[in-house]
């Protein structure tokens, strides 16, 4: 095992208080003030650890920008609107979106961009990316900090945001559920997974429709921060109007299974090997998000695949248009990027899309006929 400074921090914490939850481990690994993964590096691109859809092609951000502008028009073109992006990466998506909508009358004047971003490194990239468009922007540490302004609706874009929120894992035992924890091996001093005590309290975290079907050894992941943000979004959209577009890799319905993974240099790593130096993610439970939003009396679309959603937005026509002014090599690159975004063998099926909106709002684009 490769030691890092953060491993020493984690080992001291475990030695003092005992095994910690996977959520606590993820939170330290990703968001430790000095040693956390997102606090100290730019993880994106070929020189980083992974690549996201906006970095693959300008088409992705352009189409989402146009979707946001049409959504704003359907709201009645309000004079003020929060355009919120959760986890905006390098700002590539927002820059492409702003370029695509610059001719939409009144949209630039109405929006204030609100980036929810904890990384100082990425904030600098985001500021540089959107600077040419002259749209006011504010940065926030959390969604809680985004102003809840009476009469001002919001359009939220969350592309590959929820997958990085800390999850807890529970394993079914013979008579109940026990939490999977991170501990330290007595002999080697290495970090390892252990099972906590079986308790009926954990049963409340398992969706009702799954409890009776669990077998010993079944694993269930839940993400309390994702549920809290979804609930907060639903209430704000109900109170002031608004729409949220959530794009991430995950499953449409809650199910048993372990999905926690670590990625470094575009390769999968042992989750416990290099905390702070590898990205940690888990598949998003869109079923849990949908239940949370509808329980708050807001609305959601059906969960679509990314390929289906982008085709509905016209990505194939956009690709053909770009190819008209491209040389042969550029045309091949456009086709390659298109397939990477929509092909079932690549991102097209693994990544899912869900749209949420307030109970008093009209269904936004790509929702009519596919409501959840």
Domain limits of the chain?
A: 39-166+222-357
Residue-wise pLDDT for 91-129, tens only, equals 999 999 999 999 999 999 999 999 999 888 899 999 999
- The secondary structure of residue 371, as a DSSP letter, is B
CA–CA dist 180, 236 (Å, integer)? 34
CA–CA dist 2, 275 (Å, integer)? 10
What mean pLDDT comes out for the span 316-331? Answer: 96
Asked which of 14-23, 80-89, 196-205 is least confident by mean pLDDT, the reply is 196-205
Residue-wise pLDDT for 228-286, tens only, equals 999 999 999 999 999 999 999 999 999 999 999 998 876 888 999 889 888 899 999 99
**Which residues neighbour 224 within 8 Å (Cβ) at sequence distance 6 or greater?**
23, 166, 168
For 146, left (φ over 0), alpha (ψ -120 to 50), or beta?
Answer: beta
Sole residue written with tokens 């042969």: 328
Architecture of domain 39-166+222-357: 3-Layer(aba) Sandwich (3.40)
Is the separation of the CB atoms in 319 and 59 below 8 Å? yes
Q: Both ends of the chain: CA-CA distance in Å?
A: 45
Per the structure block, which two tokens stand in for 92? 């590539």
Sole residue written with tokens 């990205």: 279
| Banded pLDDT at 57 (limits 50, 70, 90) | very high
pLDDT value at residue 2 = 43
Q: What's the mean per-residue pLDDT of the chain?
A: 91
- The secondary structure of residue 372, as a DSSP letter, is -
What mean pLDDT comes out for the span 159-183? Answer: 93
CA–CA dist 229, 145 (Å, integer)? 12
């Amino acid at each position: 095992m490769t030691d890092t400074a953060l491993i020493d921090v984690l080992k001291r914490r475990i030695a003092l208080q005992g095994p910690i939850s996977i959520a606590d481990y993820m939170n330290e690994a990703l968001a430790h003030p000095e040693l956390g993964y997102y606090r100290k590096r730019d993880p994106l691109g070929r020189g980083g650890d992974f690549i996201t859809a906006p970095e693959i092609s300008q088409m992705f951000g352009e189409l989402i920008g146009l979707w946001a502008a049409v959504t704003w028009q359907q709201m009645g073109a309000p004079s003020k609107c929060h355009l919120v992006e959760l986890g905006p990466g390098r700002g590539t998506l927002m820059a492409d979106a702003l370029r695509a909508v610059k001719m939409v009358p009144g949209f630039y004047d109405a929006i204030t961009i609100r980036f929810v971003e904890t990384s100082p490194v990425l904030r600098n990239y985001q500021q540089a990316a959107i600077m040419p468009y002259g749209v006011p922007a504010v940065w926030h540490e959390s969604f809680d900090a985004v102003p809840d302004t009476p009469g001002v609706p919001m359009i939220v874009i969350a592309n590959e945001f929820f997958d990085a929120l800390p999850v807890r894992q529970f394993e079914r035992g013979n008579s109940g559920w026990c939490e999977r924890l991170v501990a330290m091996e007595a002999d080697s001093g290495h970090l390892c997974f252990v099972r906590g005590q079986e308790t009926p309290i954990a049963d409340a975290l398992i969706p009702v429709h799954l409890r009776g079907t669990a077998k010993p050894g079944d694993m269930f992941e839940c993400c309390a921060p994702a549920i809290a943000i979804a609930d907060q979004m639903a209430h704000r959209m109900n109170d002031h109007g608004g729409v949220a577009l959530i794009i991430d890799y995950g499953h449409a319905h809650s199910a048993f299974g372990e999905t926690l993974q670590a990625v470094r240099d575009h390769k999968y790593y042992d989750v416990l090997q290099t905390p702070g130096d590898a990205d940690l993610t888990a598949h998003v439970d869109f079923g849990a998000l949908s239940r949370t939003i509808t329980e708050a009396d807001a609305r959601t679309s059906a969960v679509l695949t990314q390929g289906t959603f982008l085709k509905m937005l016209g990505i194939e026509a956009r690709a053909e248009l770009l190819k008209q002014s491209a040389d042969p090599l550029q045309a091949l690159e456009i086709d390659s990027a298109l397939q990477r975004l929509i092909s079932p063998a690549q991102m097209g099926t693994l990544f899912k899309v869900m749209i949420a909106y307030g109970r008093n709002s009209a269904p936004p684009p790509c929702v009519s006929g596919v409501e959840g």
